[in-house]
Structure 1
C-alpha cells in the first residue's frame, strides 16, 4: 500500500476513533435510559430525518465543497460560491422545516406514523435548520482545504450531543431529551463553523450578487447522480428501521437498532478507506493507471476481508456475552438479529472501498445502478419478511441487501475498468476464518466468566486467525510486518527491519527458503490450533480459579 495513502487513512482514522469511542460509550447509555421502546422510537425518528435531509442538504454540501475546491480565476469566485450556496441553504432549510410543520399540522404525520410520534416532528423541524448549517459550515471548510477544522467539528458535534442528551434522558426527558442533544450540538457546530468560515471569507458575501456568467444552473443541478447514490445508500441504512416501526412494537425496533449498532462496528476501517480513496484514486484515474488501481483495489479488498471477517467471527462467538454487558439484559432479544446481520455487514464492508474507487473515476452510473439493485432487493425482502418475521425478517432482508452490494459493485468495477478480486484471495480468507473459527467458538463457550471471555478470546482468536491466514496463503509471510511498518516508531521501524530481512532471505534462497517457510508455518498453524483447543478445555479450570 502506498505510504502516502496509508498516512491519509490513519489521519482520517484518528478522528473516527474518537467519534467511535464516544459513540460506543453513549449508545448503551441511551438504550438503558430510554429503554428498548424509547430507543426504538428515537432510532426510527433519526432514520426518517436522515432520509429527509438528503433532499434538503445533499446538493448544498457536495456542491459547495466541489466548486470551492476548483478555485477558478473568476473575480471573487470563492465569495460568490459561499454566498450562493448559503442563500440556497437558507431557502431549502426554511422550506424543509415548513413542510415538516405543515405535515404535523394537517395530520399527515399522525396518519403515517401515529399520534404518539407526531410531537417529535416539531423538534425535527428545528433540527432541519440547525443541521443544514452544521453541514454547510463543515463542507465549506473542506472546500477550502481546512480539514484541520472540519474534522474536529465532527468530534464537537458528537461530544456536544452526548453532554446534553445523556443527562436529559437520564433525568426523564425521554426521546425529546435526545433530540434536544442533537439540536444543541448542531447549533454549536454551525455557529463555530460559520465563525471559522467568516474568518476566511466575510459572510457579507451572502448579500453580493454575482455576474450573469456565474454558473448558477450548473451549480443548482450539480451532483444529481451523487444525490441519487446517497439516497440509495441511506435507504440501505434506514429503510428496515422505518418499515419495522410500521409492523412491530417500538421495543422490537430498539433491539433491532441495538443489533445494527454492533454489526456496523465492522465498517469502521472500510468507511475510513472510503473517505480517503475517493480523493486518492482520482489522480490515478486521471493518469489512466488502471493496473495500479486494480492492484490497490484487490489488495484493499483482501485486507478488508481479513480484518472484517475475524471481527465478525469474534463478535458472533461473544454475542451472548457482549450484548447483555453492552446494552443490558433487556437487549438479549437483539442477539439473534445480530448473528443474522453479520454476513451482510461483512459484504457491505467489502463493498465500501470498491465503491469509493469507482467514485474516484467520476463515472457514477454504474455504482448508482449497482447500489440501486441492492437497495431494491433490500426493500422487497423487508416488505416480504418484516410483517411475518419481525426483526428477524428485517435482519435477513438487510443482510441479503448488504451482502449483494459487494457482488454488484464488483460487476460495476469491472465495467468501469478495474478488478477488485484480482488478488483478493477471498476463498483463502474465508478458509482461514473457518479454521480459526472452531477454536474461537470453543474457547468462548468454555469460558463462562463473561469478563474473562471478553479479555481472552479476542487476542487468542486474532493470533489463531493470522497464523492460519499466513498458512493458507491469504497473507504472504512478509505482509503482517509490512502493515505494521506503517505504524509510528518504534513499531514501524522494527517491523520494517523484520520485513526487509524476510524479503532478502526469500530472494537469496529462492524456492528452498519458501518451502522451508511453508513447512514451518504448517507446524506453527497446527501449534496454534492445538493451543486454541487446549485453552478451550482449560477455560472451565480458569473460571473455577476466578
Structure 2
C-alpha cells in the first residue's frame, strides 16, 4: 500500500505537469495515444500475464519446476512474435496514412508505436515477479521508477517550454524501458534456483486452451477501461478527451487499495486453491475485500466534498468542468470496490471462462452505451456508460464466484 500511495503521488504530479503544460487539447492527444496503444497491444500479451502468475504460483506450490521453466520460454516466444507483427502493421499504416495527421499527431503516434513492445515486456515482467512470490519487488519499479522518470522528463521539458504530446509519449516509453531493464535484472537475482538446473517441460496444448479465454477476458477488460477515451477522441474533440481523462484518472483513486491488494492476493489465491484450502481462501478474500472497500469509501468522500476545488487547484480552471464525470465514475468505482476480488478469484482458480462470458457481454454493452450517450451528452455520457458497466459487471462476477466456488467476495459477509 505504501508503494501504491507513492506511485499515486508521483503519477498525480506527472499528470498535473502534463495537463497544465500541454493544455486540454495536447493532453487529450497524449491520452488518446496511450489509450489506443493499450488496446492494440492486446494480441501480444492479453492473458499471458495472468497465466504467467497462475502457472508460476501453482508450479511453485507443487514443485513442478520443469513446467514453470517451459511456460516461461513459451510465453516470451509468443509475446515477442506477436509484438513484432503488431509493430510492423502499425508502422506500415503510419507510413501509408501519416500525411493525414498533423505533425503533432504524427509524432505522438510514432511514440505510441515505440511504446507497444515496452508495454508488453513490462506486463510480463511484473507477472513473473508476482508468480515467484515477490509482488512488492515486482511492482516497485512500476510504482516508483517509471512515474518518477516520467515526472523528471516531462518536468524538465515543461520548464524548457518545449513539451509537446509526442515528446510526452516518448518520455513515457523511455521510463517504461528503464523499468523493464531494471526489473528483468532484478528477476535474474530472485528467480528460484530450482528453475536453473531443470529441463523445461512444454505443454502448449494446455496453455493455449487456458490462454485463449484469458486473452479474450483481458481484451474485454481493456475495452471497458479505454472505450470511453477512444470513442470520445473519435466523436468529440481532443479538449474533451483531455478533460475527461483527468476525471477518469482521479476516479481511480477509489480503487487504488483494491489494485494493490490484488497484486498481493492473486498468487495466494492460486496457491490456496491448488492446495484445496477453501477456508483459508475464504478468509483471505473477505479480509482483502474489507480493506479495499473501506479505503474506497474514504476516497469517495474526499472527491465528493472537495473534488471541484481539487481540480481547480491542482489542474487549473480549464479542468473543473470534469467534476460531473468525475463523481459519476467515482460512484461506479465504489461498486467495483464493494464486489471485491471476484474477477481475481475466478481467474486464479481456473474459472476464467465464466468471467469471459460476463465481461465480453459487459464490454459490448459499454460500446453500445458510449455510442448512444456520447453524441448527446459528451463527457457525461461516457462517464455514465463506463460507471454503469463497471458496477454491473462486477456485481455479476461476485455472484458467479459465489455459485461456482462457494466463495463470498463481498466485504460485508462472512468471517474475515
Which range, TM-score by smaller chain? 0.7 to 0.9
What's the counterpart of residue 401 of structure 2?
Answer: 413
Specify the alignment match of 2:119 in structure 1.
131
Describe the SS at the equivalent of 2:351: coil
Tell me, in whole angstroms, the C-alpha distance in 1 between the residues paired with 2:277 and 2:138: 31
Cα offsets for 1:263-284 (capped at 9, x unmatched): 1100111112222332333344
Contact 1:366 1:415 in 2 (8 A): no
Give, in angstroms, the shift of residue 382 of structure 1.
0.7
2: CA distance between counterparts of 1:44 and 1:422?
34
* Bigger mean CA offset, 239-248 vs 349-358: 349-358
Task: Work out the CA distance in 2 between the residues paired with 1:373 and 1:272.
Answer: 27
Secondary structure, counterpart of 2:341 in structure 1: helix
1:195 is matched with: 185
Q: How far has the Cα of 1:199 moved from its partner?
A: 5.4
Q: Are residues 1:334 and 2:322 paired?
A: yes
Q: Take 2:256 and 2:83, find their aligned partners in 1: how far apart are those partners?
A: 31
* Cα distance in 1 between the residues matched to 2:360 and 2:170: 34
Runs (5+) with no aligned partner, structure 2: none
Q: Matched residues in 1 for 2:76 and 2:65: separation?
A: 19
1:124 alignment partner, SS class: helix
1:167 to 156, 161, 178: 156
Superposition pairs of residues 106-121 of structure 1, within 5 angstroms: 106-107=96-97, 117-121=105-109
String of CA shifts for 1:459-502, please: whole Å, max 9, x gaps: xxxxxxxxxxxxxxxxxxxx9xxx9xxxxxxxxxxxxxxxxxxx
Gaps of 5+ in 1: 1-12, 426-478, 484-546
Name the counterpart of 1:386.
374
Find the aligned partners of 2:289 and 2:47 in 1 and give their Cα distance: 30
- Aligned equivalent of 2:253: 265
The reply on whether 1:157 has 2:113 as its aligned counterpart is no
The aligned residue for residue 32 of structure 1 is 20
User: What is the SS of the residue equivalent to 2:408?
Assistant: coil
Q: Name the CA distance, whole Å, in 1 between partners of 2:71 and 2:347.
A: 24
Partner of 2:365: 377
Q: Work out whether residues 93 and 128 of structure 1, in 8 Å CA contact, stay in contact via their aligned partners in 2.
A: yes
In structure 2, the CA distance between the partners of 1:148 and 1:321, relative to structure 1 (3 Å rule), is closer
- Cα RMSD, aligned residues only: 3.3
**Residues 162 and 301 from structure 1, CA distance in 2 versus in 1: closer, same or farther, beyond 3 angstroms?**
same
Q: Look up the match of 1:522.
A: none
1:360 equivalent in structure 2: 348
Q: 1:235 aligns with which of 220, 223, 229?
A: 223
Query: 259-268 vs 76-85, which deviates more?
Result: 76-85
Aligned residues: 405
2:213–2:356 CA contact under 8 A, matched in 1 = yes
SS in 1 for 2:41: helix
Q: Give yes or no for contact 1:138–1:153 (8 Å, CA) kept in 2.
A: no
Instruction: Give the conservation status (yes or no) of the 8 Å contact 1:378–1:398.
Output: yes
Report the alpha carbon displacement of residue 150 of structure 1 after superposing the two structures with TM. 2.2
Deviation at 1:18, TM superposition (A): 1.8
| Residue among 81, 89, 98 paired with 2:88 | 98
2:10 is aligned with 1:16? no
The structure-2 alpha-carbon separation of the partners of 1:264 and 1:89, relative to structure 1 and needing over 3 Å to count, comes to same
In the superposition, relative to structure 1, how do residues 394 and 75 fare at CA in structure 2: closer, same or farther (>3 Å)?
closer
**418 and 16 in structure 1: CA distance in 2 versus 1, 3 angstrom threshold:** same
TM-superposed CA distance for 1:46, in Å, is 0.8
Distance (Å, rounded) in 2 between the aligned partners of 1:277 and 1:196: 22
Q: 1:387 to 1:146 in 2, by over 3 A?
A: same
* Residues 306 and 188 of structure 1: CA distance in aligned 2, closer, same or farther (over 3 Å): closer
Quote the offset at 1:26 in angstroms.
1.6
Higher relative contact order (CA 8 A, sep 6+): 2
SS in 1 for 2:339: helix
SS in 2 for 1:214: coil
Change in 2 beyond 3 A, CA 1:114/1:395:
farther
Report how far residue 27 of structure 1 moved: 1.2
1:333 deviates by: 0.9
TM-score by length of 1: 0.66
1:331 to partner: Cα distance: 0.7
